[in-house]
Each structure stands twice: as C-alpha cells, then as structure tokens.
Chains A and B, each alone.
Chain A
C-alpha cells in the first residue's frame, strides 16, 4: 500500500468534528445516554464499592440491599474462574515475552530466491522483478486462481481511486 505523504490534507480521511458537527454531537449524546444506562444497571454494586472504599475505609456507613456475601454467592464461581484465567494468561504472557528474545536468531534470514518466488506464481523471474518496481499493481486471477493479468499503475492513480487504498 502506498504511504500517503503530508502534502495530502484529506488523507487519512479522519472524520473530525468540523466535518460532521451534528453527527459528532448526536454520537456524543447517545454515548452519554449509553453510559448512564450501564451505570444505572451497576448502581447498587458501585454504591457498595464506593461506601466500602471511602472513609471510613473497609467499613460500611449505611445498609445496602447488596452485601459482599450475597454478591460472592452470586458471582463467586465466575470471579474465581476469571481470576484463574487472568493469572494463567499473565503467567504465559511473562513467559512468552522472553521466548522471542531467547529464541531470536540474529543471523539474517536469507531472501527468498527470485526463481522460487516466480515459480510459485507461474511467471518468469524478470516479471516479478518488474512488478517490484511498481508501487501499485492491479492483479487479476482466472477461475482457477492463476494469475491472468497484471497491470502496473502509476502512483498518482492511487489517489484517484479509493478502491486501491488497501481498505478492509
């Protein structure tokens, strides 16, 4: 994919609040409503936590419809399984982060032979070499998934055609 340069102010096409003020405002209001909805659902738990961890800490200053024991009774098993999974993932995360360094081979990986590369696509090596010179290549396949037609595009054509921007 071509990397757009700083001379193109419309790229990347980020939708800023200046472009769509109404949509931005609408989305912000809807998102605040969504948060209020979730906070309302969690209110009893949040109130319990706030009371327990605020002054006087580790004690309740008023009675709640929820209790630690009641909460533990309802979600105890879930919390335990979640905790074990978190510990398991954290452990393997720490082990795993060392492995790439331990198994890292500093020797440079030999480049794929051009002939081998070309053979995989059924084209002569010099054709591959020519394609590599192009920044944008439009590739067409036939019904059997063999390369049918390859056209090198000029880099300027990329800006004109949004379909060539590597979008997902």
Chain B
C-alpha cells in the first residue's frame, strides 16, 4: 500500500482505485474464497441508485486514470479488465440510446432508418444472455457453496440481475461517464453511506 501511494482521497470508490493502483505498481491480487464478510446495502431504490451511480463514477474514473499507467507500464494482465469495462460502458450507451429511440417510436414519432431501436421487452438475444447469466451464477454458487453455508439460497434472488439490475447498471453507467469526465481534478471523494430506511 505504501508503494502504491495508499488510498486516494480523490476517489469515490476507494477499494477499486487502490486495487488498480496496487496492480499497476506490480503487485498481484488473488481471490481468497475463505475471506467472508458482510456488507450493508441500500434498502430503497433511491439509495441503490445513488450507491450504484457512485460506483459507476468511481469505476470509470479509476479506469480513465489508470489508462496511461497501464499502457506505459505495460501491465497487460489488466488489459482484459480494462477492455471489459470500456465495452460495458459502450453497451450501456447502446442500450440507453436504443431504449430512448424505442420510446420515441412507441409514441408514434417517425424515426430515420439509421436510428437504433432497443425494446426493453427481451427478444431472443436478451433471453440468451439472461440464460447465460443464470448458468454462470449457478456455476459460481456451486463453486462457492463449500466456503459459505446456505450460499445456494442466493439463487432464488439472483433473477433480479437479468430482470432489473442490468437496466440499473446501464443507466448508472450512462450517467456515470459524463460525471466522471466532468469531475474536477483534485475534488475530494466523499459520500454518504447507504440509507437505512428499514428498522
């Protein structure tokens, strides 16, 4: 941590930022399945939106800031993660812009042929991706179940990822990119913890 410059006071996602800088400094991070902890999560949609938007801004800021170091330091190990992030943002923009055109078309305004239209009602590919995700989640739960008792219970709730959460991710990525780009250099990274609506 000392060599990587400790935690950045400017980042709004301290964990993402410091893990990227550690790896850019030549360290390796490995997955420890036995390290289990719990996390407090937002309990309202507004709280969830604010948290995910902050994560999006922080993640984008980290990826943008890391790009010169990644290329000049030749840390190619991080390149697939970098590409994954950039492609995810492009995907989010495609989804949101296509969704906006779909709404315009639905209200009867004629659109030019080049306008991409994405219906929020899943088509064949939406179903394929949702099914792929469920297989992926099932495999992860199968692998991680031996480290955490009753972990398989999460499979019941995991359906919200393809049904709703991806839309939230796309919207936060869409809003998060300009926020990250316009964020003043040197601005303090501060945030309020998720709401605690339910007692």
Contact = CB atoms under 8 A, between A and B. Distances in A.
Interface of A: 12-15, 19-20, 23, 31, 34-35, 37-38, 41-42, 45, 74-75, 78, 82, 96, 100, 112, 116-117, 120, 141, 145, 162-163, 165, 167-168
Interface stretch (B18-26, B36-44, B100-108, B172-180): B36-44
B146 interface: no
A34 B122 CA distance: 13
B2 A34 contact: no
B10 to A, nearest CB: 8
A31 B157 contact: yes
A12 B122 CA distance: 38
A15 B43 contact: yes
B182 interface: no
17 contacts: A12-B40, A14-B38, A15-B43, A19-B198, A42-B127, A42-B130, A74-B124, A82-B132, A120-B2, A120-B6, A145-B186, A145-B188, A162-B196, A167-B193, A168-B39, A168-B51, A168-B194
A28 B30 CA distance: 35
A35 to B, nearest CB: 5
A19 to B, nearest CB: 7
Given A117-B2, A145-B9, A168-B40, A41 B130 contact: yes
Interface string B148-172: 0000000011011011100000000
Interface in B30-78: 30, 38-40, 43, 51
Contacts of B30: 96, 100
A112 B38 contact: no
Given A15-B198, A37-B163, A163-B193, A31 B156 contact: yes
Contacts of B28: 100
Interface residues on B, range: 20 to 34
Given A34-B160, A120-B6, A168-B51, 10 more contacts: A12-B40, A42-B130, A45-B131, A100-B28, A100-B30, A145-B9, A145-B186, A162-B193, A168-B15, A168-B40
A95 to B, nearest CB: 12
A19 B43 CA distance: 14
B128 interface: yes
B128 A38 contact: no
A159 to B, nearest CB: 15
A23 B198 contact: yes
B127 A41 contact: yes
A23 B129 CA distance: 29
Given A20-B198, A120-B2, A42 B40 contact: no
B2 A167 contact: no
Contacts of A112: 2
Contact of B40 (A13, A34, A141): A13
Nearest to B135: A82
A168 B198 contact: no
Given A12-B38, A120-B6, A41 B160 contact: no
Contacts of A31: 156-157, 159-160
Contact of A35 (B10, B131, B159, B198): B159
A126 B162 CA distance: 53
Interface centre among B39, B40, B162 (most CB of A within 10 A): B40
A112 B4 CA distance: 13
Given A31-B156, A34-B159, A34-B160, A78 B128 contact: yes
